[in-house]
């Protein structure tokens, strides 16, 4: 025993625990001998911090600091350690002294994130007490990335959170998927909550500089408090607020240049003309290009429509507060030119957060976030996809300066030239967004608080599309100009009434919440259209200037949800923690008899490292084991799917007058109810080497049943294009999440660093579809036993090189040498529909994120990278389509089979495709796996004198999407389509952050 004790004593790390152990052992004998500890808590700038939570580890007794940062706490003598924690600061565990002066450092790294306060649904919890799986991203990590959109800041940061940038358009917002796709019926997006208000409009246009932190509730035990809206996880965004006794001005500016991250290799004009000639000749027609070599290199249309685009971003914030009030005002402006010519996004944002404490115990808070953004462009996406189709034999511009236009057989004379698409249409997409939340919070009795808040969100989308009249040549003619104006606006109103109570009774601490919430959402749309504008003048692009073919459209939809919520968090000795939540939801989307849903959760955590038997484990600093179970729902399926109705619009003409036709356009199912998701999960948080080495491991089993699904019904019903919703399917997502971090950041050294890697494995499988019904689409199927939207089709088995090979193979109608040989899977000697099989998943199974920061004296460097594996994508898109080989220009066509032995992976090109080479098959699939260096930022912190007005100044240079390693043939493996899309950008920029 004594030698062992000596060994422990040698390990400095274990000393605090040893002391704790000693105290624990003597506790029974010293019980009742209380002492009073006092102290003061300040930030690194020596300014007092108010509201810092001060909690004794052992007894859980606690208090908060006053406005001078002072506290006083009566503790049993058994208490040896006190934890100081404050939102936005690193927590600190300090040994008890009579007079404790504690300096908390601003939270900027994971090393000291052991006990930050974490935002959970309808409240906050100390990270230590969190029993569910919650991931957090701090504002610091966002600053290190200078992202356009808040969603991008999440990419690669948290295991199990997949962020996909589906478009490189400056106005686009990425999609977020948490722990795999949980549904194939209702909306699969996570719930987004901004400062306690559920938003229906995502994270678009929220200024990243206004964000303090983001919590992601990944499992049901964390998210169940959001019940019917939390099945796909919850993203909680907390904006910045002012702090008492402070007055800060933050300025952040950056400017840079974007360019397309990848250009697809294309055919030159000579190659194009040669290949098109072959396509026509194989189809039995004459060769359209007499002398292909005369065209030389020709035009690479991507060079014509992409550019180096400028961007500038300015953010200004004033934050501070006095004893009775705090304020925060944030102003943001961003001007981003798109990488496609003639596209530009302008964005302005304003945030105003005020807190007033007029009376003791009463706090009134207002949160306002407003933004306006406008995207102006031609048809950027069409310009990109036609750039993959337009013939390189055509010059971009004719000698007289007019657009080069297809003029002969073999050139795509029916489609618009890429430059016409990019430059001529006048499109503007304006988004106005405002969110205001007024909250009153009153402490009725010590520990008993009542909070009531009302939130109103307004969102408007304002679209102008003007197509001028023009005539540039074949396929590029519009006789009469037209204008479409489309305005959609939505109101989202919420009230929350919350009663919270926390109480510490000896070793027992309770944290309880009960509440009522109501949410009402209304969407309206108004569209006007007119044609025949006599001129294309910008000032005449209003409806009044048109003269023909008026069209007006408009509709309204409304839905409401009413909920009762409750949560009980109980801790014994602050190391055995139980949490239970319940939400009861009632939604207008379901019939009264199926309207109410109950969503409970139970979870527990055990902080093992606090146990006496763990004390002698050398090197271990912290160990927590978590497990949880919860039920969640999803009601996001449009507004009134259960109601039978008769729809207008089935019109006809009698005697040259339009007559309105009405009919029910689908079957209805009054019995539909919530999708239900049940999650079981367990996790371990373990820190070693004085918290330098940190592990988080989670396992989850997420099971969704009663998936709200438009189960395809036979065409003979007559309504198969609008099938009824049914609670029909079941899906499981099972996976592991593993996060490891190592670093010493936060320590007072010249060289500090922090490296984090997270890895996610997710297995998605449909476990049941009602009556074995499959969701069958042209290229994909969702069936029992496979992952959602698995690719389905024939298996390509090379190319028939000659007639003998065809004769020797299974019978394949129409096959000629050069056509794709499909595999006879059932060995019946005929290639038929029964030779189709599952070809691959459309979703990744593995993903990883890497984040690293290094600081040396005044320099800092941060790097992040992401990767995904396991997904396949469809490559049948513009530029790659063998069925329209006369108007495709991807360089892949050089691999075309042109005679025996020339190719075994790309078929001959033949008009009419007699072998149906273009059928759904593995020929048209490619892996979407990728590794991407997402972000590199190198900063230098200027030395500032403490007396100077300038508190902080940092300059940096940075790059985004520096490179991507992938075999995907399209613009970018993350984008939704191969080429019919707005491509991703690579960005180089420099910026400065100043604190005054």
Partner 1 sequence: MKKITIFFAFLSLLAGAGCNKKLDQQPYGVVPVTNFYKTQADALAGVTAVYHRLQNFTFGDVESGFDCWPDLLSPDVESHQDFTALRQVHEYDATTDNAVVDSSWITLYNGVYLANQAIEQITLMPDNVFDAGMKSRLLGEVHFLRAFYNFRITMLWGQAPLVTKTLDLNNLYLAKSPRQDFFNLVEQDLLTADSSLPASYTGADVGRATKGAADAYLGNLYLWENQPAKAADRLQSVINSGIYGLVDNYASLFDGTNENSKESVFEIQFKANTGLNVGNAVSWLNAPNGEGMVNGGGWGWLRPTADLVNEFETSPKEDPRLSASIFRKGDVFNGIVFQDLVNGSGYANKKYIVSAGMEPNFPWYASVNETIMRYAEVLLLYAEALNQQGRPADAVPYINMVRARPSVAMPALSTGLSQSAVLTAIQHERRVELCLESKVGFDLRRWYGSNLGTYMHSKGYSNFVEGKDDYLPIPQSEIDKSKGTLTPNTGW
Touching partner 1, residues 290-309 (CB under 8 A): none
Binding mask 330-359 for partner 1 (x = CB under 8 A): -----------------------------x
> Which residue, 52 or 439, has its beta carbon nearer to partner 1?
439
Tell me if 719 contacts partner 1 by CB under 8 A.
yes
Bridge-based pairing state of the strands 99-104 and 35-43? parallel
We find the least distance from the C-beta atom of residue 152 to partner 1, in angstroms, to be 36
Q: Contacting partner 1 (CB under 8 A), which of 288, 338, 840, 969?
A: 288
Touching partner 1, residues 351-410 (CB under 8 A): 359, 362, 408-409
Measuring CA to CA, which residue among 913, 225, 894 is closest to residue 582? Answer: 225
> Which residue, 157 or 634, has its beta carbon nearer to partner 1?
634
> Which residue, 160 or 886, has its beta carbon nearer to partner 1?
886
> Which residue, 546 or 681, has its beta carbon nearer to partner 1?
546
> Which residue, 240 or 589, has its beta carbon nearer to partner 1?
589
Touching partner 1, residues 920-949 (CB under 8 A): 920
> Which residue, 718 or 901, has its beta carbon nearer to partner 1?
718
> Which residue, 493 or 614, has its beta carbon nearer to partner 1?
493
Q: Which 3 state secondary structure label does DSSP give 679?
A: strand
Instruction: Give the integer Cα–Cα distance in Å for 447 and 438.
Output: 22
Q: Which 3 state secondary structure label does DSSP give 223?
A: helix
> Which residue, 613 or 654, has its beta carbon nearer to partner 1?
654
How many C-beta atoms lie closer than 10 Å to residue 918's C-beta? Answer: 16
Q: Contacting partner 1 (CB under 8 A), which of 647, 767, 803, 905?
A: 647
Q: Contacting partner 1 (CB under 8 A), which of 22, 26, 650, 965?
A: 650
Touching partner 1, residues 729-768 (CB under 8 A): none
Touching partner 1, residues 165-224 (CB under 8 A): none
> Which residue, 380 or 779, has its beta carbon nearer to partner 1?
779
CA torsion sign for 187, 193, 196, 197 is: negative
Contact 341, 301 (CB under 8 A): no
We find the least distance from the C-beta atom of residue 995 to partner 1, in angstroms, to be 38
DSSP for 570-593, please give it: EEETTTEEEEEEEEEEEETTS-GG
Bridge-based pairing state of the strands 191-194 and 234-239? parallel
Q: Contacting partner 1 (CB under 8 A), which of 724, 769, 810, 866?
A: 724
Residue 936 sits at φ, ψ, to 5 deg, of -135, 130
Listed ranges 343-351, 392-400, 637-645, 680-688: which one lies at the site for partner 1 (CB under 8 A): 637-645
Contact 900, 817 (CB under 8 A): yes
Q: Which residue has the tokens 């990488």?
A: 339
Listed ranges 309-317, 585-593, 755-763, 847-855: which one lies at the site for partner 1 (CB under 8 A): 585-593
Number of residues that bind partner 1 (CB under 8 A): 108
Q: Which 3 state secondary structure label does DSSP give 847?
A: strand
We find the least distance from the C-beta atom of residue 553 to partner 1, in angstroms, to be 9
> Which residue, 538 or 714, has its beta carbon nearer to partner 1?
714
Q: Contacting partner 1 (CB under 8 A), which of 726, 787, 878, 889?
A: 726
Q: Contacting partner 1 (CB under 8 A), which of 6, 656, 945, 949?
A: 656
Instruction: Tell me whether residue 269 is exposed, middle or buried, using C-beta atoms within 10 angstroms of its C-beta: 0 to 12, 13 to 18, 19 or more.
Output: buried
Q: Contacting partner 1 (CB under 8 A), which of 72, 294, 402, 639?
A: 639
We find the least distance from the C-beta atom of residue 888 to partner 1, in angstroms, to be 11
Q: Contacting partner 1 (CB under 8 A), which of 291, 657, 946, 947?
A: 657
- Distant-in-sequence, close-in-space partners of 333: CB < 8 Å, separation ≥ 6: 313, 314, 315, 346, 347, 348, 349
Contact 490, 204 (CB under 8 A): no
Q: If you ran DSSP here, which 8-state letter would residue 340 be given?
A: B
We find the least distance from the C-beta atom of residue 555 to partner 1, in angstroms, to be 5
We find the least distance from the C-beta atom of residue 288 to partner 1, in angstroms, to be 7
- Distant-in-sequence, close-in-space partners of 521: CB < 8 Å, separation ≥ 6: 200, 490, 491, 492, 493, 558, 559, 560
Tokens of 996: 């005054």
Q: Contacting partner 1 (CB under 8 A), which of 32, 833, 945, 949?
A: 833
- Distant-in-sequence, close-in-space partners of 716: CB < 8 Å, separation ≥ 6: none
Please, what's the b/e burial string for 512-540 (b: 16 or more CB within 10 A of its CB; e: otherwise)? bbebebebebebeeeebbbbebeeeeeee
Tokens of 861: 């460097």
Touching partner 1, residues 665-694 (CB under 8 A): 667, 669
> Which residue, 664 or 829, has its beta carbon nearer to partner 1?
664
Contact 76, 34 (CB under 8 A): yes
> Which residue, 478 or 894, has its beta carbon nearer to partner 1?
478
Q: Contacting partner 1 (CB under 8 A), which of 619, 648, 785, 829?
A: 648
Q: Contacting partner 1 (CB under 8 A), which of 659, 803, 905, 948?
A: 659
Instruction: Give the integer Cα–Cα distance in Å for 736 and 843.
Output: 16
Touching partner 1, residues 433-492 (CB under 8 A): 440, 442, 444, 450, 452, 454, 474-475, 477-480, 482
> Which residue, 47 or 644, has its beta carbon nearer to partner 1?
644
Tokens of 177: 């998927």
Cα Dmax for the chain: 107
Q: Contacting partner 1 (CB under 8 A), which of 11, 798, 918, 995?
A: 918
Q: Contacting partner 1 (CB under 8 A), which of 495, 536, 898, 941?
A: 495
Q: Which residue has the tokens 């337009």?
A: 390
Touching partner 1, residues 767-806 (CB under 8 A): 771, 773-774, 776, 778
β strands within 130-217, DSSP E: 134-138, 161-164, 175-178, 191-194, 197-199, 211-217
For 769-775, the CB contacts below 8 A with 24+ separation are 769/711, 769/728, 769/729, 769/730, 770/709, 770/711, 770/726, 770/727, 770/728, 770/729, 773/711, 773/712, 773/728, 774/712, 775/184, 775/709, 775/711, 775/712
> Which residue, 648 or 899, has its beta carbon nearer to partner 1?
648
Q: Contacting partner 1 (CB under 8 A), which of 30, 101, 414, 807?
A: 414
Tokens of 653: 């003409």
For the chain, the residue count is 996
Binding mask 1-30 for partner 1 (x = CB under 8 A): ------------------------------
Q: Contacting partner 1 (CB under 8 A), which of 5, 9, 286, 290?
A: 286
Touching partner 1, residues 530-569 (CB under 8 A): 531-532, 548-552, 555-560, 562
Touching partner 1, residues 858-917 (CB under 8 A): 883-884, 886-887, 911-916
Listed ranges 119-127, 290-298, 512-520, 937-945: which one lies at the site for partner 1 (CB under 8 A): 512-520
We find the least distance from the C-beta atom of residue 510 to partner 1, in angstroms, to be 22
Touching partner 1, residues 590-609 (CB under 8 A): 592, 595
> Bridge-partner residues for 504, per DSSP?
509
- Distant-in-sequence, close-in-space partners of 411: CB < 8 Å, separation ≥ 6: 288, 391, 393, 394, 887
Q: Contacting partner 1 (CB under 8 A), which of 692, 919, 928, 934?
A: 919
Measure CA of the first residue to CA of the last residue in the chain; give whole Å: 57
């Amino acid at each position: 025993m004594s030698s062992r004790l000596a060994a422990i004593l040698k390990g400095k790390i274990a000393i605090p625990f040893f002391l704790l152990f000693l105290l624990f052992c003597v506790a029974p004998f010293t019980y009742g001998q209380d002492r009073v500890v006092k102290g003061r808590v300040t930030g690194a700038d020596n300014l007092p911090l108010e509201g810092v939570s001060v909690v004794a580890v052992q007894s859980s007794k606690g208090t908060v600091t006053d406005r001078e940062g002072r506290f006083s706490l009566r503790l049993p003598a058994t208490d040896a350690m006190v934890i100081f924690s404050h939102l936005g600061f690193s927590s600190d565990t300090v040994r008890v002294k009579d007079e404790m002066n504690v300096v908390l450092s601003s939270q900027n790294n994971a090393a000291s994130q052991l006990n930050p306060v974490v935002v959970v649904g309808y409240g906050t919890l100390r990270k230590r007490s969190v029993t569910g799986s919650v991931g957090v991203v701090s504002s610091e990590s966002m600053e290190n990335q200078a992202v356009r959109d808040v969603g991008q800041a999440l990419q690669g940061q948290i295991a199990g959170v997949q962020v996909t940038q589906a478009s490189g358009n400056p106005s686009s917002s990425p999609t977020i998927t948490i722990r795999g796709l949980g549904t194939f019926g209702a909306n699969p997006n996570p719930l987004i909550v901004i400062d306690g208000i559920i938003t229906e409009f995502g994270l678009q246009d929220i200024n990243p500089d206004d964000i303090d932190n983001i919590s992601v509730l990944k499992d049901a035990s964390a998210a169940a408090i959001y019940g019917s809206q939390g099945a796909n996880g919850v993203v909680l965004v907390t904006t910045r607020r002012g702090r008492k006794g402070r007055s800060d001005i933050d300025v952040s500016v950056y400017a840079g240049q974007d360019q397309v991250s990848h250009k697809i290799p294309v055919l030159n004009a000579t190659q194009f003309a040669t290949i098109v000639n072959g396509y026509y000749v194989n189809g039995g027609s004459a060769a359209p290009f007499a002398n292909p070599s005369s065209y030389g290199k020709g035009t690479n249309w991507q060079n014509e429509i992409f550019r180096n685009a400028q961007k500038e971003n300015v953010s200004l914030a004033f934050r501070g507060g006095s004893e009775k009030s705090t304020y925060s005002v944030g102003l943001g402006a961003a001007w981003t030119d798109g990488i496609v010519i003639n596209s530009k996004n302008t964005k302005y944002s304003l945030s105003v957060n005020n807190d007033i404490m007029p009376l003791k115990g009463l706090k009134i808070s207002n949160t306002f976030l407003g933004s306006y953004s406008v995207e102006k462009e031609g048809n950027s996406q069409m310009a990109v996809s036609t750039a993959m189709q337009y013939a390189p034999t055509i010059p971009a511009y004719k000698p007289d300066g007019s657009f080069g236009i297809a003029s002969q057989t073999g050139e795509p004379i029916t489609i618009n030239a890429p430059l016409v698409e990019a430059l001529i249409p006048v499109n503007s997409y304006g988004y106005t967004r405002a969110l205001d939340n007024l909250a009153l919070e009153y402490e009725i009795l010590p520990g008993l608080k009542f909070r009531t808040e009302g939130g109103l969100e307004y969102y408007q989308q304002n679209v102008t599309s003007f197509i001028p009249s023009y005539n540039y040549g074949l396929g590029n003619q519009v006789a009469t100009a037209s204008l479409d104006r489309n305005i959609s606006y939505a109101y989202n109103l919420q009230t929350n009434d919350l009663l919270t109570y926390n109480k510490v009774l000896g070793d027992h601490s309770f944290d309880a919440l009960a509440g009522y919430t109501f949410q009402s959402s209304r969407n309206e749309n108004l569209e006007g259209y007119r044609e025949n504008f006599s001129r294309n003048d910008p000032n005449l692009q209003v409806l009044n200037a048109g003269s023909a073919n008026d069209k007006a459209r408009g509709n309204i939809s409304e839905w409401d949800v009413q909920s009762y919520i409750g949560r009980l968090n109980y801790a014994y000795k602050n190391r055995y923690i139980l949490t239970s939540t319940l939400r009861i939801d009632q939604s207008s989307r379901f019939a009264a008899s199926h309207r109410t849903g109950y969503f409970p959760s139970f979870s527990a955590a055990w902080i093992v490292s606090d146990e006496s038997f763990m004390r002698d484990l050398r090197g271990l600093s912290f160990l927590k084991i978590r497990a949880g179970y919860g039920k969640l729902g999803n009601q996001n399926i449009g507004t009134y799917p259960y109601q039978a109705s008769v729809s207008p619009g089935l019109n006809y003409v009698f005697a040259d007058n339009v007559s309105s036709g009405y009919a029910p356009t689908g079957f209805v199912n009054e019995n539909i109810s919530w999708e239900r998701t049940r999650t079981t999960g367990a996790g371990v948080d373990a820190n070693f080497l004085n918290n330098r080495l940190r592990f988080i491991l989670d396992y989850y089993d997420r099971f969704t049943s009663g998936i709200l699904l438009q189960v395809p019904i036979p065409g003979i019903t007559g309504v198969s294009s609008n099938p009824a919703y049914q609670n029909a399917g079941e899906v499981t997502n099972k996976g592991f999440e593993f996060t490891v971090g190592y670093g010493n950041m936060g320590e007072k050294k010249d060289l500090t660093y922090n490296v984090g890697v997270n890895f996610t494995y997710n297995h998605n499988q449909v476990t049941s579809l009602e009556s074995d019904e499959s969701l069958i689409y042209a290229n994909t199927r969702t069936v029992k036993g496979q992952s959602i939207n698995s690719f389905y089709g024939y298996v390509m088995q090379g190319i028939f090189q000659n007639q003998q090979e065809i004769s020797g193979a299974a019978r394949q109608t129409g096959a000629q040498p050069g056509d794709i040989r499909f595999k006879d899977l059932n060995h019946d000697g005929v290639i038929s529909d029964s030779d189709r099989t599952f070809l691959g998943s459309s979703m990744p199974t593995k993903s990883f994120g890497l984040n690293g920061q290094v600081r040396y004296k005044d320099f800092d460097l941060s790097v992040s990278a992401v990767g995904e594996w396991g997904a396949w994508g469809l490559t049948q898109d513009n530029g790659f389509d063998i069925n329209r080989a006369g108007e495709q220009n991807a360089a892949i066509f050089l691999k075309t089979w042109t005679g025996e032995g020339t190719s075994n992976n790309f078929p001959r090109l033949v008009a009419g495709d007699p072998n149906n080479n273009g059928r759904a098959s593995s020929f048209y699939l490619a892996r979407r796996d990728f590794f991407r260096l997402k972000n590199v930022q190198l900063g230098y912190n200027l030395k500032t004198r403490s007396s100077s007005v300038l508190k902080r100044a940092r300059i940096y240079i940075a790059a985004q999407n520096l490179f991507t390693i992938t075999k995907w043939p399209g613009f970018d493996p993350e984008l939704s389509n191969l080429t019919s899309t707005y491509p991703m950008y690579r960005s180089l920029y420099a910026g400065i952050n100043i604190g005054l």
